[in-house]
């Protein structure tokens, strides 16, 4: 198989999910700042069976009772002692003997550290990392309590470093919800120099204007289009998939897309029905999709990889195994506590993705 044609520094097309990836609150979804911190930990704390029996990530509620489980480091669920970091699993590869506590105990995911006090210190540390400095900041930067960053500073720092280094970066904000315009507002305020902690890029792009906010839709045959109903004046024609990709790949552009949750839900949350991103063989554009909900599973993952052999050809969806094989090159699952702790986390993953793109992805995309 031929390998992908790549350049040393391709144009980056960075897709960022919003809720629980770059935004630490979801008022529209009923999640407060505290709720999101709890969910962040619930998704990375892993349990295992005491008897050593297999416990797969896709197991259903009721597959094991609480008294049959322990944290993955061997500590009892009722024991608050020991290093809670040892119970977390932040890697892409699945552990052989454990599963996310979130899968087992969804009832308590919003009160996770109140139920399991072992992890309360980590939540307090994350909250401290996200605390706003004193000042009168734009509402778009503040959580519901008015005291914390609504969006991860690492998100803005990533864009600042790339733009100031001269990289050709296109930005695509992806969400199933209604928060895309809020991200656009925050981006414009950041570029204007009003961010509480991250300075604006030296050469500010004209990002996320009202004619760059779209809804992505699949039709009954699975064809993807972009439409502009989120613009209050309704301007702009519907774009087919090829035109939509060309729009997103425009140099130094930024686009907001409200994705098609109904289509994903209708198809039982199958990856191929999720938020699409695109790979064109021989293209100088490198799409990278960051999302906290990408799963190392052929079921119930959120990002749909679509590939074509050359410009002008139709995009075809990749199946689950082929999509999962793109992790670390085109897809990055985001354990959100990591970029909270490290403002260079997204930058490091981008560098790794660019290196991985130069390797053996040709056969994986065949």
For 111-146, write each residue's pLDDT tens digit: 899 999 999 999 999 999 999 999 999 999 999 889
Contact (CB, 8 A) for 179 and 261:
no
**Element holding 142 (H helix, E strand):** none
Strands 224-227 and 239-240: antiparallel
Q: Which residues on adjacent β-strands are paired with residue 151?
A: 23
Burial per residue of 148-165, b for 16 or more beta-carbon CB atoms within 10 angstroms, e otherwise: bbbbbbbbbbbbbbbbee
Antiparallel, parallel or unpaired: β 303-308 and 331-333: unpaired
Residue ranges in the chain modelled with pLDDT below 50: 1-7, 57-62, 230-231, 363-366
**Residue 61, pLDDT score:** 44
pLDDT given for residue 2 in this prediction: 33
Alpha carbons 276 and 305: distance in angstroms, whole number: 6
CA–CA separation, 272 vs 197, rounded Å?
38
pLDDT digits (tens, 9 = 90+) for 157-201: 999 999 999 999 999 999 998 888 899 999 999 999 999 999 999
């Amino acid at each position: 198989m031929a390998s992908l044609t790549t350049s040393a520094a391709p144009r980056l097309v960075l897709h960022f999910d919003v809720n629980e990836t770059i935004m630490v609150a979801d008022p529209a979804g009923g999640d407060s700042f505290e709720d999101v911190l709890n969910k962040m930990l619930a998704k990375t704390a892993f349990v295992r069976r005491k008897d050593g029996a297999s416990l797969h990530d896709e197991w259903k509620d009721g597959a094991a009772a609480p008294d049959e489980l322990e944290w993955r480091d061997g500590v009892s669920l009722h024991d608050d002692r020991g290093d809670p970091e040892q119970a977390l699993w932040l890697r892409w590869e699945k552990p052989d003997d454990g599963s996310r506590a979130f899968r087992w105990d969804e009832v308590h995911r919003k009160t996770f550290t109140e139920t399991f006090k072992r992890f309360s210190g980590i939540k307090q540390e994350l909250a401290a990392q996200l605390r706003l400095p004193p000042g009168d900041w734009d509402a778009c930067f503040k959580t519901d309590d008015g005291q914390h960053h609504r969006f991860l500073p690492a998100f803005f720092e990533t864009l600042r470093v790339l733009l100031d280094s001269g990289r050709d970066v296109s930005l695509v904000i992806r969400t199933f919800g209604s928060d895309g315009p809020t991200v656009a507002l925050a981006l414009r305020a950041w570029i204007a120099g009003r961010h509480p902690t991250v300075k604006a890029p030296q050469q500010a792009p004209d990002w996320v204007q009202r004619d760059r906010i779209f809804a992505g839709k699949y039709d009954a045959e699975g064809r993807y289009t972009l439409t502009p109903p989120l613009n209050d004046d309704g301007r702009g024609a519907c774009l087919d998939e090829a035109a939509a990709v060309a729009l997103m790949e425009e140099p130094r552009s930024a686009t907001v897309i409200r994705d098609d949750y109904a289509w994903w839900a209708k198809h039982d949350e199958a990856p191929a029905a999720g938020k699409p991103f695109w790979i064109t063989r021989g293209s100088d554009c490198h799409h990278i999709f960051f999302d906290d909900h990408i799963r190392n599973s052929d079921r119930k993952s959120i990002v749909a990889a679509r590939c074509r052999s050359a410009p002008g050809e139709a995009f075809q969806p990749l199946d689950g195994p082929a999509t999962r094989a793109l992790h670390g090159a085109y897809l990055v699952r985001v354990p959100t506590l990591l970029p909270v702790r490290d403002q260079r986390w997204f930058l490091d993953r981008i560098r790794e993705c660019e290196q991985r793109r130069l390797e053996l992805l040709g056969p994986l995309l065949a």
